[in-house]
Structure 1
Amino acid sequence: MVVFNNVTMDTFHRRKWLLLLITIVWRKLDLVNGLKCYCNSDSPSCPNSTCETDGFCYASTTLENGIQKYSYHYRVLALRCMNTSQAFYREGYPIICTQPRYYCCFKDYCNSDEISQEILDTMVHTSILEPGTSATAWQVVPWLMGLMVLGVCAAISFWWAKRSGKVKERGSRPLYPAEESLCETRHPITATIRDMIELTTSGSGSGLPLLVQRSIARQIQLVDIIGKGRFGEVWRGRWRGENVAVKIFSSREECSWFREAEIYQTVMLRHENILGFIAADNKDNGTWTQLWLITDYHENGSLFDFLTSRTIDSNTLIKMSLSIATGLAHLHMDIVGTKGKPAIAHRDLKSKNILVKSNLTCVIGDLGLAVRHNVASDSVDVPSTNRVGTKRYMAPEVLDESMDSRQFDPYKRSDVYSFGLVLWEMARRCGVMPDEYQPPYYDCVPPDPSLDDMRRVVCLEKRRPNVPNRWHSDIVLSAISKVMKECWYQNPAARLTALRIKKTLANIDTADHIKL
């Protein structure tokens, strides 16, 4: 049996019914004319808004279009309010019906007093009304939810617009987020490639970080093709409005691509007379993988192209010669230190691998066949590629295979021999009556000579390019011809070093200016 406030539930009901019976009997005995109730119906039983009943006075309330309305009635004893599950005694009030919408009481006009109004209002606020009230609430809820969603969307849109404005101020980002943050944070959109290199390398000269290289490579647009070779093609590309040269290797030349990129990123290699390296990347064009090597772009093209279409004066000859010698001396020189540079030999020096800058100085490019000297072990780092140098420019010891490939100095002497032939090419295009452009040994071998052709002319016959008589009457050409002859001696040990050539050409330049 359930106990409630130390009184059993049966006892509670017995007391309630006893009180109810006493109340009814008391009303029967005390009120001869019955209980007076207020009513607002148009029924004949409700004259002057007053009626009598032997039951209860009761009031009800409803919501119509959001407006609360009250109705006042009477009921006989046996009707709705007398069910024990719907009525209970409450101290201070005879009976209150728990049936929704109804308030029942036993006092005269009790259904219209302030107490009934307060209780009915409470019913409305606690939603003890007809189902229409809940329906109204459910109709409002979707609108409230919709407004909340719109508010959230508006807040997100405002945040995104604000963020986009900040991004636009910093400039567009590259395709790869991890790389881009590195590139964009350090280098604003207005930065040139030269600025990026100076800021990123911090003077090490070893090239841009790999992530930055890839970021740049993915943003380059190819414009037009500017050259072809056995390795692949060379394109002019655009990066943020700046021209770059893109050397695209065929897939079978992967070793050459990797080697050249590796050499270009040698510590302290960067020099004004060495082709400026920017980036290396492999790109999938949907059919095959392209191997890109991105460098500075020089609109004058190679020295071969320049000499084919243009002639030069004495000052330009010295300027070009000195710049090439300076670049070669930098390659051949080893820089000792924690971040030192190893000595490097080019192995394929020729006019097609030398580019002409806008100021008519030159830079040495195409380092795919270069070798490095390891001072610690006194060994030579030779690339694992089947490519060999250009036959026309090969030194005698390379042609007859008498060169000691285990030592580094023979490689440098071979470069000096090739440089002597480049000097000859430039000198032919200089002077009052320049000769037409011709490659070295044009009069001795076919246009595409074989190794046997070159070996016969250079090693067996020991011939060298012809020196015109007119050069002897020109001070600059005479001095240049003397240098080139000391570069292509048959005996490698007798040839000048790159540093000695640089100093000799610098002296010619000084003497020429003094004379002028």
Structure 2
Amino acid sequence: MVHLSASLLTLNGKSLDHLRLRLNDIELATDKFSETCYIGSGGYGMVYKGELDHFDGMDSLKIEEKNKGEFRKKHSCVAIKRLHNRVDTQGEQGFVSEIETLSNCKHPNIVSLLGFCDEGHELILVYEYVAKGSLDDYLGNMDGMTNLVWAQRLQICLDIAHGLNYLHTHIEGKPMIIHRDIKSANILLDDNWVAKIADFGLSKLQRANQQGTTLITNNIAGTEVYLDPEYKNTGKLKKESDIYSFGVVLFEVLCGRLAYDEIYSGGGLPSIARQCFNEGTLKGMVDPKLMEADEIISLLKGGVNQDSLETFSKIADQCLEETQSRRPTMEVIIKELEKALNFQVSNLFQNVTSLFVK
């Protein structure tokens, strides 16, 4: 049995041995990584679904406890990410980065890391299973996003915003975290449509003594169409880089299409959305499934309230400012998204009530 590094047992002085899982248990849970357990893949590797015993996620942050037996165990359905062969240095870096980041996090809008395995040539990460897949599955999919009315989409955006605000905040025992790859494919949805930020392989941590500083990176990382232009051009990485990426996701949710959809030429969705917003023609880009012509159908499906649309569009546009310093803070974004949701819910209640009064 060969482990990646003994340092993983005491990452930044904190014991993580309670998160280490045996390869035999993982192989048993996935029927040795059979096709019947396979649920998805990406550039990082393959993802499988299985059931196994792991340490309770509610206890996973109590890493000051030294005795492994003091952590409660739990048996549940999990997502098992099997990374490509560990000879890939970048894969190893992402593996360690994900463990380092998520072992510091506990938030309802951040996917929970339940364990890892680094036996032999394997690099495996085990997460809570999030049943409804990723947000991008419901964008541009007539059988997917149809189920999500405007109020639901707003709540999903608020969930992501709360998760980002948590990541960007220094809390005792948790550094500030820049995700670096916020996109709809990295937003997972659970059974209740609660959104959870996932995939922290590219994330960067900023300790309390580094607060207020700018991280300079030589290797620009992220997904092209979601990438902060200032970071891309200068290598200066700040939490505002995540805010730009989030702005792209906001417009994806509004338009019901992925940012790299072939209908968006040139700079993709961000540049076209900003242009339409400034020209006052953004309504033409709104997902037609949200703009029902029939009044009663529109009310029952939660058609978009105009005040809600304008509030949402304005804050999404501000997130896409070219300059990092001009973008809003997560606190402001949350406030505006809450306002947009309140407009929508209040208007829907009033209109549905009026149908019965008539």
Fold shared per TM-score above 0.5:
yes
Q: Which one of the candidate residues 209, 228, 233 is aligned to 1:395?
A: 228
Q: Give yes or no for contact 1:421–1:440 (8 Å, CA) kept in 2.
A: no
Which residue of structure 2 aligns with residue 368 of structure 1? 201
Which residue of structure 1 aligns with residue 101 of structure 2? 263
Which residue of structure 2 aligns with residue 499 of structure 1? 331
- Within a 5 Å distance, the mapping from 1:33-432 to structure 2 comes to 210-215=16-21, 218-220=24-26, 221-222=29-30, 224-239=37-52, 242-250=76-84, 251=86, 252=88, 253-266=91-104, 269-284=105-120, 289-307=121-139, 308=141, 309-311=144-146, 312-335=148-171, 337=172, 340-378=173-211, 388-399=221-232, 401-405=233-237, 411-429=238-256
Q: Quote the Cα distance in structure 2 between the aligned partners of 1:227 and 1:381.
A: 33
Deviation at 1:440, TM superposition (A): 4.4
SS in structure 1 opposite 2:20? helix
Give the CA RMSD over aligned residues. Answer: 3.0
| Structure of greater relative contact order (alpha carbons < 8 Å, 6+ residues apart) | 2
SS in structure 1 opposite 2:245? helix
Q: Give yes or no for contact 2:312–2:336 (8 Å, CA) kept in 1.
A: no
Q: Which one of the candidate residues 461, 469, 488 is aligned to 2:284?
A: 469
Question: Deviation per CA, 1:456-500, whole angstroms, max 9, x where unpaired?
Answer: x799x8974753337586333332212211110122211111121
**Which amino acid in the other structure matches residue 412 of structure 1?**
K
Deviation at 1:237, TM superposition (A): 1.8
Deviation at 1:274, TM superposition (A): 0.3
Alpha-carbon spacing, 1:473–1:463, altered in 2? closer, same or farther (3 Å): closer
Deviation at 1:256, TM superposition (A): 1.1
Q: Quote the Cα distance in structure 1 between the aligned partners of 2:323 and 2:245.
A: 14
**Which amino acid in the other structure matches residue 83 of structure 2?**
F
Q: Quote the Cα distance in structure 2 between the aligned partners of 1:458 and 1:324.
A: 19
Q: Quote the Cα distance in structure 2 between the aligned partners of 1:377 and 1:425.
A: 33
Q: Which runs of 5+ in 1 are unaligned?
A: 1-205, 406-410, 430-436, 446-452
SS in structure 1 opposite 2:108? coil
Indicate the percent of aligned positions where both proteins have the same amino acid. 28
Deviation at 1:326, TM superposition (A): 0.4
Which residue of structure 1 aligns with residue 33 of structure 2? none
Alpha-carbon spacing, 1:360–1:270, altered in 2? closer, same or farther (3 Å): same
Q: Quote the Cα distance in structure 2 between the aligned partners of 1:480 and 1:320.
A: 13
Q: Which one of the candidate residues 325, 341, 358 is aligned to 1:509?
A: 341
Q: Give yes or no for contact 2:21–2:115 (8 Å, CA) kept in 1.
A: no
Question: Deviation per CA, 1:150-178, whole angstroms, max 9, x where unpaired?
Answer: xxxxxxxxxxxxxxxxxxxxxxxxxxxxx
Q: Quote the Cα distance in structure 2 between the aligned partners of 1:330 and 1:211.
A: 25
Q: Quote the Cα distance in structure 1 between the aligned partners of 2:334 and 2:45.
A: 33
SS in structure 1 opposite 2:40? strand
SS in structure 1 opposite 2:339? helix
Q: Which runs of 5+ in 2 are unaligned?
A: 1-11, 31-35, 54-74, 277-281, 287-303, 350-358
Question: Deviation per CA, 1:102-152, whole angstroms, max 9, x where unpaired?
Answer: xxxxxxxxxxxxxxxxxxxxxxxxxxxxxxxxxxxxxxxxxxxxxxxxxxx
Q: Quote the Cα distance in structure 2 between the aligned partners of 1:274 and 1:496.
A: 22
Which residue of structure 1 aligns with residue 313 of structure 2? 481
Question: Deviation per CA, 1:321-353, whole angstroms, max 9, x where unpaired?
Answer: 110000000001112x4xx32111111000001
Deviation at 1:382, TM superposition (A): 7.9
Which range moves more in the overlay, 250-259 or 235-244?
A: 235-244
**Which amino acid in the other structure matches residue 503 of structure 1?**
K
Q: Quote the Cα distance in structure 1 between the aligned partners of 2:94 and 2:340.
A: 38
Q: Give yes or no for contact 1:349–1:419 (8 Å, CA) kept in 2.
A: yes
Q: Quote the Cα distance in structure 2 between the aligned partners of 1:364 and 1:261.
A: 15
Q: Quote the Cα distance in structure 2 between the aligned partners of 1:388 and 1:346.
A: 10
Deviation at 1:373, TM superposition (A): 1.4
SS in structure 1 opposite 2:118? strand
Q: Give yes or no for contact 2:311–2:336 (8 Å, CA) kept in 1.
A: no
Corresponding residue pairs, total: 277
Alpha-carbon spacing, 1:486–1:283, altered in 2? closer, same or farther (3 Å): same
SS in structure 1 opposite 2:132? coil
Q: Quote the Cα distance in structure 2 between the aligned partners of 1:413 and 1:303.
A: 22
Q: Quote the Cα distance in structure 1 between the aligned partners of 2:273 and 2:285.
A: 20
Q: Quote the Cα distance in structure 1 between the aligned partners of 2:191 and 2:22.
A: 24
Q: Give yes or no for contact 2:154–2:341 (8 Å, CA) kept in 1.
A: yes
